[in-house]
Structure 1
Amino acid sequence: MNEEFRITLLGEFTIEYKDSVVSDQTNRSKKVWTMLEYLIVYRKRFITQDELIDLLWPESTSRDPINTLKVMMHRVRDALDELEFDNSRQMILYRNGAYGWNQEFKCVTDVDEFQRLIHESELETDDISRKISLLLQAESLYQGHFLEKKSSESWVIPIAAYYRSLYNRVVTELGRILFEHKKYEQLSVVCQKAIILEPYEEQFYIYLIKVLISTGYLEKAMDLYHHVTEVFMRELGVTPSDELLALYNDVVKTIKTPEMDLSVIKSKLDESKGEIGCVFCEYEFFKLVYHLEARNIGRTGDSSNLCLISVVDKNTVSIPPRRALNRAMDALKTTIQYNIRSGDVFARYSVNQYLVMLPSTNNETGNMVAQRLIKAFRKEFSGIQIVLKYSIQKITPMKDRMKQS
């Protein structure tokens, strides 16, 4: 026999024979698919009945697990009958108390092809076009994580992690080569797919932002920067890397085209989005405002303060769970924006903290402002069960800092 079956394990699980396909999208028992997937993944050996029973019914106290397993195997063979293959009942063999894939039937899996293409791309050092082609073929095979529907099962987790690491390596290498050779359209497609599959891999966003900058879509690059920094702060509690910040600064420097007419420039500056209240800004911009305020109070002799407001749990010792934290941080942002003087600025400092600039305040008035914020929060959002903590510190004038150094 020389029969060949094409099998996908990355994303949707399918077995294809000629024009017929069986898939885990079909309405069958989850255990049917688990058993079939396990037999295929470990198709080079026979699997004992005990191993399959532990896989399918780890907590079971059945008095007759062997018979239960036989019933399940019958259902697996029923599923394989849908392939319209005359010898479907011979695809899985039974020998000496163990089940195994019939080695006379060749399996061509996407994971094997995926690894082969990556290996060939690593060996290719002379022909860059061929190297790109091999990497793109490997990338196209990765249509989802390994056995996506079984992602929480203990036997799947380490295998899925391995293939995810390979995929991330492929995309990173493609990003480097495609950007270097100015193949921006291909790189954009690769990165957009990668971001869907791996939404917390910053490097993929960096390459996509680079593409947008290089192709002149500066506003889109800025929007993507704001999106990724917000997502990473909310979901992971991390601030942008130095590389991402450098891209942001590049966009800020180049986003405005030369304009000789001052009246045109002024009209653009006068445009308003209709926002009221305190100004929320990026932390990088907040640092600039802070340094300007330090210079200003050094010149005028005025006093200003910095306020840090933190969201903690009811025990006041740790950060609340993510869902409660995100709700609280959104509510606190609204509270600050509408209870601080118009024109003042604030920024998100960490996953559970905001920094607020309090110009022309002393320690007493700074504390009054902070207490007013907490009172307003409690009045408006009384149902949110968290604790707000704050601290106030006087801003050191720039000239005094220079003397100290």
Structure 2
Amino acid sequence: MSINPAVCLVDLMDFEQTCSKVEQIFAGNGRVLTPELGMLSEKALSLYQGDFLAQDTAAWVVAIREKQKTRCLRVLERLIKLHEQAGHREMVETVCERALQVEPLREDFYRRLILFFLQTGRKADAVNVFERCGKIFRAELGSEPSESLRGLVADLDYALRSINSHPLPSTFPPRSDPCE
């Protein structure tokens, strides 16, 4: 017996085939986000619905689960780079957030999102992402984000807290000019 691919579609097989096509395009001319690459990448990401048989601990299941997750993360990493290069700001944020949904313990995705927010002037969002990273790392790993990530937002966090604790008055007193 075998599965007739014309009659039955297995999402795992479809995901693997789509990722293979994406990887072939990246290997050939993966520096430009073409419509085909975008469409195939989106298809691969829509097929990835989370951990394969998440509750199963059999070795063969874990191997497939990790392979799928790794392939998905590779597609996400490359998409982030392409969107950054193309200047697609909204997509950079969207794809970074999607990557963090797939793997919330990858500091490099937090770093990219924080840098994106800093580059686009969204400093409060950068601090919020850093704080989310810290909460997740403490809860899941019992550790803090790396020194370099902490350094990235340390000065910014201090400045924002200082501004929030000492807000400017909504109206300024009339100016007294000593020359008058």
Normalising by the residue count of structure 2, what TM-score does the alignment of the two structures yield? Answer: 0.71
Opposite residue 128 of structure 1, the aligned amino acid is V
Q: Is the 8 A contact 1:118 1:138 kept in 2?
A: no
1:139 to 10, 35, 45: 45
Pairing 1:194–2:99 present: yes
1:5 aligns with 2:8: yes
Q: 1:4 to 1:206 in 2, by over 3 A?
A: same
Residue in structure 2 matching 1:129, options 24, 29, 33: 33
Unpaired segments ≥5 residues, structure 2? 169-180
Q: Once the 2 structures are TM-superposed, how far is the Cα of residue 235 of structure 1 from its aligned partner?
A: 1.8
Q: Would you say how many aligned residue pairs link Structure 1 and Structure 2?
A: 163
Q: Describe the superposition over 1:47-83 as per-residue Cα deviations: whole angstroms up to 9, x where unpaired.
A: xxxxxxxxxxxxxxxxxxxxxxxxxxxxxxxxxxxxx
Partner SS for 2:44 = helix
Q: Deviations over 1:247-294 (max 9, x none)?
A: 3136348759xxxxxxx999539xxxxxxxxxxxxxxxxxxxxxxxxx
- How much does 1:172 deviate? 2.0
TM-score (structure 1 length as normaliser): 0.35
Aligned to 1:234: 139
Matched residue, 1:148: 53
Greater gyration radius:
1
**Conserved? CA contact 1:110–1:141, under 8 Å:** yes
Q: Within 5 A, what are the aligned runs for 1:2-401?
A: 3-9=6-12, 109-125=14-30, 128-130=32-34, 133=38, 134-145=40-51, 147-149=52-54, 151-249=56-154, 251-252=156-157, 255=160, 267-268=166-167
Residue 173 of structure 2 corresponds to none
Which sections of structure 1, spanning at least 5 residues, go unmatched?
10-107, 257-263, 270-405
Equivalent position SS for 2:9: strand
Give the strand-richer structure, 1 or 2: 1
Query: Relative to 1, partners in 2 of residues 1:213 and 1:192: Cα closer, same or farther, differing over 3 Å?
Result: same
Cα 1:162–1:122 shift into 2, 3 Å? same
- CA distance in structure 1 between the aligned counterparts of 2:73 and 2:165, rounded to whole angstroms: 46
| 1:144 maps to amino acid | G
